[in-house]
Structure 1
Amino acid sequence: MLSRYTKDYVEEIIKSVMNTVKIDLEIRPDHSGINMSYNFIGHYIGIDFERLLSAWEENEAPISLESYIKVLTIHELGHAIDRLALLESLERTIEIFRAKNSYVLSEIYNNRDLLSMLVEEHEMNIKFEETAWINAEHLNLEFNFIDHSSFKLVKRHSLESYRTLYLEDLKLYEILLESQGEKTA
């Protein structure tokens, strides 16, 4: 079934949305395992075509591929609208990236300062995701790309993945603090 959907079909939908809202970004292939992403440094949208199709299939309620792509596109454009804030976070993002690459996971998860940094990164990501979804909702209200219930479904599914990872690491951080005799707030 998925073989009938081509990369050109997907790109055509994305470009149509961008033309409608008058935000023109380059579309680049991406093999990161993330269905669609906004690169705020390069100011482009990356698409992992295979992951996009499999993520669409994972939805708990039926939604057309076209609608799914439209929702993801306005979400990524929501990040583009928030680009200044993303750029302002770049210095801290680089610090966190370098720190994460300087340690193995076991070191990060056994050091409260490093784990705190990971929790901070999750909180930053969630804030940016929520802002992008707010911007996407405004675009959807203005241009009426998709019905509200389908929009909310994709939004919830997307945010859930960020929140799940955050809560897992937050719990580990709290356990680490308790094991070291510190109280959590």
Structure 2
Amino acid sequence: MTNLDINEIIKVRRSIFPAQYNDKPVSKAFIEMLLENANWAPTHRLTEPWRFKVLQGDAKNRLGVFLSNTYTDITSDEDFSPFKHKKILNNCKAASAIVAICMQRDPKARIPEWEEIASTAMAVQNMWLTCTAHKIGCYWSSPKLINYLDDFFDFEEGERCLGFFYLGNYDEKEENENSKRTPIANKTIWLDE
């Protein structure tokens, strides 16, 4: 891979949402490669805090039911949105796989927690770039519903969920390539004296 290749992959990385996925499944071999690439994220003191739970088939559908029921339970009648309730279910059904993105806190707390969260986010960035390079749609969602997942997953001591990484194949015409960034010069100060 040349520098231009990685530069292009970074620039075309996008959120591809579950509603954009087609019915073609994402292979187990691809998901294994995706997780292996995640495993090479930077990690201070080699804590390797990222943990993943891969849901496919009935498991992802059970997650959808759990999340939609939880949404109903925690939402007041005046704030309840039938659209959002249905979207939670549909996102889980539409995805070929869902990866629960979890962070395992170092039991010795040798480094600040934010560094372990950042390291886990870098693992997810590796996943996102891998998906982009292979034209697999993906989307990281972190709804407040993740705070209730103790009733769905068996977490280890110090482990918590940071969100869901939805995966699915998509038709390239669905990809949104109109993302923009303001110039980096507006966000950079050079100090050379």
Q: Same fold (TM over 0.5)?
A: no
Shorter-chain TM band: under 0.3
Greater helix share, 1 or 2?
A: 1
Greater strand share, 1 or 2?
A: 2
Task: Tell me the TM-score normalised to structure 2 length.
Answer: 0.24
